[in-house]
Chains A and B, each alone.
Chain A
Amino acid sequence: MADNENCFVGENNTGHIWDADLRELSNPPPRWWTIAFWISMGWVVVYAILYPMIPYGQEATKGVLGWTQMKEYHQGMAEIEAVRAPFEERIAQMSAAEILADDGLASYVVASSKVLYGDFCSACHGSGGMGGPGYPVLADDEWLWGGTIEAVVTSITNGRRGVMTAHGKILNDEEINSLAQSVIARDVASNPLYMSKGCIACHGMDGGGMAILGAPSLVDTIYRFLPEEGETQLESVKYTIRHGVNDPSDPNTREAEMPAFRDRLSESDIKKLAVYVHRMGGGQ
């Protein structure tokens, strides 16, 4: 091939010619492209000197700037902490009630505690406080243990564990049915069984509940335990009366416990969560 005489004078071929006219042409890229290419190559060298780049085994060259991703991350976090510090300082010194009363600080808490709530609360109580199967709604105005800011702080700090005796052995089916009907009708006080069977001790004279014991109101429209799939509300109420709540003597008792967060969250975090929950709309 190379022996062939190059009879295409003036053409930009490489001199590689086959079958007299089949030839390899040379089309160099434009000058600006070549320049940009060499500048890029130069930058690669500069970059390799400045930044970590060339791996060897588990390690890599460090680069003279000493840059690492973790350093950059910590710097970024430090910047955020610096912005938050004045707020956090005040939160540490104030009570939850004082934070709630301070509009600016409460807005900061609501804006910044979403992650905290998501990590520690939303698994049971739902991302917007809408509750879950067997877990109370935080956004409504019905509170088992009181909806004041102090009560919410106590609930988070120490946890809550309400108890209701399983009445399956004490009451016959007819009595259970009668009481359950009264609960559904939101009129327990007129049922003589309500007083004679001792419900009144925890749920109050009028059935309005007792926050100090975590006993819910029986006369409002919100039920502590909602019916399961295929169950009516009446059946659900009967089940609660029969098996109670957290009664160790009944293996089928309803379980309902709020764990204590005293050891898992800082005081500031508990205050922030209390304000966050209070601001969901149900706080008293």
Chain B
Amino acid sequence: MSDKQNQEKVISDLYAEAEQWHINTGEETIHAKRVPGRWRTLKWLLASSWLLFFLGPYLRWGDRQAVLFDIPNRQFHLFGATILPQDLWMLSLLLLFFAILLAVATAIAGRIYCGFFCFQTVWTDLYTWIEERLEGPPQKRRKLQQAPWDATKIRTKVIKHSLWLLIALLTGISFVAWFVDAFTLWGSLFSLTVGTTALFFIALFTVGTYLLAGFMREQACFWLCPYARIQGVMLDKSTTLPTYDFHRGEPRGRMLKGKPQEGKGDCVDCNQCVAVCPTGVDIRQGQQEGCIMCALCIDACDAVMEKVHLPKGLIRFESLDQLEGREERPMHRRPRVWIYSAILAISLLGIGYGLSTLDAIEVKVLHNRTPLFVPLSDGSIRNGYTIKILNKVSEDLETTLTVSGPPGIELSGAEEPIHAQNGQVSSRAVFVTIPREALTGESTPIHFQAEAIREEGTLLVSQRSSIFFGPPR
């Protein structure tokens, strides 16, 4: 085949895929074409960070799983740190951090989270990749869809759905493995002794993944996902996003025999941008709800531009301001960017503060209410307290308790060290006695201090103030 013939064939093939733009509410399965390119590569790279989701549970830290969200025992293990419900305020900061991270990323570069990282689009991408391996490119897939059920079709479909289900099952198991010991989970799966809760969540995620990534696909982004809609309103004119340069492209027109025609724009109307779109939208219609900003249309357009010897970048990451030739607002003049960044910084600082001051032990003091105080036979006054010691380290601790206050203060009930079980709250009833003459009022502040020494020798200290009640003077 000559060069010219080849070019003609390429172009006529391109037009064959042309389709009219419309909103798809699920009646049509999107069979997106796969075109190599740098955005495609980046998408795979970022998607591969999800491997952590599958492999993470097998990391060990000492004799336990490195990251384990142990809900039955109400503790989260994060490598060396154990986070108990008492530290949960950090979780809210973490959620705030990710929410704002989404907001700032959207304000700067649009829905790149959707395009490159979201599990819905990543899993869909993987599922359609498998589909293409088995059933071939889009035209073949459409043909197969209409073909009668013969042995080949059945075999292909069975293999495809088995692979999909396998991935879905692995997803379910991997999810559950973050909440129970991963190796124990596999053991219980093979010995068929897995608990009903684990089984329920594995089934839920298996079915969910299979349905959402296999069948719902872009429909989830269109009609199910709230973030898609929320992010839509976070864009403004200075947000950089995949944009069709209509100044350069229009009026679009088909290229005949490889010659650019007079008075026509650079868009050769080959519809490749639509053919590769995983949500089936036409980027040339402008920014729209279906666009997940995966930039695959940029790859497709660039490839075509190269073939027809026109400059690349007819579709490119650009803001509306830039496109219209307006001056681009610098980052510091965009309130969204710096307000979001400030919130990001504050939440990060909070988490950093929380993690660095994570007390290894924490003493809490509850004053007994009935009676508030007891006069003793020698004239001194006694108060009862319930001491609660929270042990957040991974070993049991022997905690000694001391009290300080007015002269003559005495502590009883804490002669034996308090045995504080790891990850638990241990309590002890103690009594504090103060001579009546040392009391200056009805209530006197006193201070408790709990101390424990870890196996490796570190001294852990926690203090708590309380009140000592006495009779009116």
Contacts and interface: CB of A to CB of B under 8 A. Distances in A.
A217 B377 CA distance: 9
B20 interface: no
A130 B371 contact: yes
A214 interface: no
B370 interface: yes
A8 B356 CA distance: 74
A281 B370 contact: no
Label chain A's interface by main secondary structure: loop
Contacts of A282: 374
Contacts of B368: 128
B470 to A, nearest CB: 13
B371 A221 contact: no
Label chain B's interface by main secondary structure: loop
Contact of B377 (A126, A130, A222): A222
A221 B379 contact: yes
Given A279-B429, A281-B382, A281-B431, A127 B377 contact: no
Given A279-B429, A281-B384, A281-B431, A129 B371 contact: yes
A141 B371 contact: no
A130 B374 contact: yes
Interface residues of A, number: 18
B456 interface: no
Contacts of B377: 140-142, 217, 220-222
A139 interface: yes
B376 interface: yes
B378 A281 contact: no
Interface string A271-284: 00000000101100
Contacts of B369: 128
B371 A128 contact: yes
Interface string B348-391: 00000000000000000000111100111111001010000000
Contacts of A129: 371
A137 interface: yes
Nearest to A103: B416
Interface string A236-253: 000000000000000000
Nearest to B369: A128
A137 B66 CA distance: 54
Interface in B30-57: none
A126 B371 CA distance: 9
A221 B376 CA distance: 7
B429 A130 contact: no
A128 B385 CA distance: 13
A140 B370 contact: no
A140 B378 contact: no
B370 A127 contact: yes
Interface string A115-131: 00000000000111110
A163 B375 CA distance: 25
Interface in A81-133: 110, 126-130
Interface of B: 368-371, 374-379, 382, 384, 429, 431
Q: Which 3 A-B pairs have the closest CB atoms?
A: A128-B370, A130-B371, A220-B377
Given A128-B371, A141-B377, A142-B377, 19 more contacts: A110-B429, A127-B370, A128-B368, A128-B369, A130-B370, A130-B371, A137-B371, A140-B382, A141-B376, A217-B377, A220-B378, A220-B379, A221-B376, A222-B376, A222-B377, A281-B374, A281-B382, A281-B431, A282-B374
21 contacts: A126-B370, A126-B371, A128-B368, A128-B369, A130-B371, A130-B374, A137-B371, A139-B371, A139-B374, A140-B376, A141-B376, A141-B377, A220-B377, A221-B375, A221-B377, A221-B378, A222-B376, A222-B377, A279-B429, A281-B431, A282-B374
